[in-house]
Amino acid sequence: TYILAIESSCDETAASIVKNAKEIVSNVVATQIDVHKDFGGVIPEVASRIHVENISMVIEETLHKANMKVEDVDAIAVTQGPGLVGSLHVGVQAAKTLAWAYNKPLVPVHHIAGHIYANQLITELKFPLLALVVSGGHTELVYMKDEWSFEILGTTQDDAIGEAGDKVGRVLGLPYPGGVYVDKIAKDGKPIYSLAKPKTENELDFSFSGLKSSVLQFIDRCKRKNETFRPEDLAASYQETAFETLLSRAKIAIEKYNPKQMVLAGGVAANSCLRSKITDGLAKEYSDVEFIIPPLSCCTDNAAMIAVAGTIAYQHGVRADYSLTADPGIDLEES
């Protein structure tokens, strides 16, 4: 099965062709990071305009690199949501146009299902599975009893972890996206500062706004008292607190649900500190669970992950007609 997928939920215009839900034939991502850098964040109107400018080229390049024609693929998959509505629309319209023009099945995909299924590019997924989703807009523990079945066990009560990391980067004066640079400088730091530890009512939920404020207050206090601090140490302290909370929830879920596999998913899965906390820590502590981390190139937004999830959805009979519209509030559990 060959699936052509399109992803445009945020600030990456992406297309990909994947064979049999595991082999990347081609994968093209046009990122807008350099444009949004100047604003310190994604400007939705600007993002959707650039998607319009790039989408045809990205799809053409994907086909060209695969040495394939649209006629050769079995279906067109597309991210229906969540994301920025104007951005999502561009991908959905492009997918509908291709599906109509070439008479191909149209398969809508939930963006987070894509992030989770990115792991299938590494190895076959085994169920029951636990997914720790850590991205710009989501922080969730998802339980998959079986293939293509999603149950959200816990979620963030406020900020997503990626969003919090980006904010911490910004107040440290680092470039956009902040989380990437916090990761970089934290390598030269030590987690010597104590920051507010997130608390939640439900033991599987998350919260990051208190921790984020705690970083802001720390910086303010230093300025007020004319004290200096090492940004590297503050970055390391932030990451230590954020990831320890994250993994404490993951451990509770592992013990409760006894999964065969635990997968990491979403942009923050690219974080080097989190990756090593899982491979050197969690994986040793729970040796009967198989821990999987997506390839670095498939952590942040891309269409290969949408193609993989799209293939599974296609095999499960998921279809849309030409009335398909972008849905920023789409529910993963109803996928």
Question: Nearer to ligand ATP by C-beta: 10 or 17?
Answer: 10
To the question of whether residue 316 is assigned a binding role by annotation, the answer is no
Among 136, 191, 294, 310, binds ligand ATP (CB under 6 A): 136
Among 8, 300, 311, 335, binds ligand ATP (CB under 6 A): 300
To the question of whether residue 110 is assigned a binding role by annotation, the answer is no
Q: Which of residues 291-330 bind Mg ion (CB under 5 A)?
A: 301
Question: Nearer to Mg ion by C-beta: 47 or 235?
Answer: 47
80 part of the interface to Fe ion, by CB under 5 A = no
In angstroms, the CA 72 to CA 3 distance is: 9
DSSP 242: H
DSSP 324: -
Residue 217 CA to its chain's centroid (Å): 28
Amino acid at 249: R
31: helix, coil or strand? strand
Asked whether the CA dihedral 273, 274, 275, 278 is positive or negative, the reply is: positive
Question: Nearer to Mg ion by C-beta: 48 or 245?
Answer: 48
Question: Nearer to Mg ion by C-beta: 140 or 301?
Answer: 301
Contacts 24+ apart (CB under 8 A), 270-275: 270/180, 270/183, 270/296, 270/299, 270/300, 271/165, 271/179, 271/183, 271/239, 271/243, 272/183, 272/187, 273/183, 273/186, 273/236, 273/239, 273/240, 273/243, 274/134, 274/239, 274/243, 274/246
301 part of the interface to ligand ATP, by CB under 6 A = yes
- CB under 8 Å to 37, separation ≥6 — which residues? 175, 176
179 binds, among Mg ion, Fe ion, ligand ATP, none (CB under 5 to 8 A by kind): ligand ATP
Amino acid at 324: L
10 part of the interface to Mg ion, by CB under 5 A = yes
Segment interacting with Mg ion (CB under 5 A) among 2-10, 61-69, 280-288, 303-311: 2-10
DSSP 13: E
Q: Which of residues 119-178 bind Fe ion (CB under 5 A)?
A: 135
Q: Are 118 and 298 in contact (CB under 8 A)?
A: yes
Among 86, 191, 259, 267, binds ligand ATP (CB under 6 A): 267
6 part of the interface to ligand ATP, by CB under 6 A = no
36 part of the interface to ligand ATP, by CB under 6 A = no
177 part of the interface to ligand ATP, by CB under 6 A = yes
Question: Nearer to Fe ion by C-beta: 66 or 313?
Answer: 313
Place of tokens 């398969």: 107
x-or-dash string of contact with ligand ATP, 79-98, rule CB under 6 A = ---xx---------------
φ/ψ region of 21 (left if φ > 0, alpha if ψ in -120 to 50, else beta) reads left
- Other beta carbons within 10 angstroms of residue 80's beta carbon come to 25
CA distance between the termini of the chain: 21
Segment interacting with ligand ATP (CB under 6 A) among 56-64, 219-227, 248-256, 261-269: 261-269
To the question of whether residue 134 is assigned a binding role by annotation, the answer is yes
Q: Which of residues 142-171 bind ligand ATP (CB under 6 A)?
A: 162, 165-166
In angstroms, the CA 318 to CA 138 distance is: 24
Give the footprint of Fe ion on this chain (CB under 5 A).
Answer: 135, 301
User: Which residues does the annotation place in the binding site for Fe cation?
Assistant: 111, 115, 301
* Binding site residue list for substrate: 133-137, 166, 179, 183, 271
Binding residues for Mg ion, per CB under 5 A?
Answer: 10-11, 301
Where along the sequence are the contacts to ligand ATP (CB under 6 A)? 9-10, 82-83, 111, 115, 135-138, 162, 165-166, 177, 179-180, 183, 266-268, 270-271, 300-301
Binding residues: 111, 115, 133-137, 166, 179, 183, 271, 301
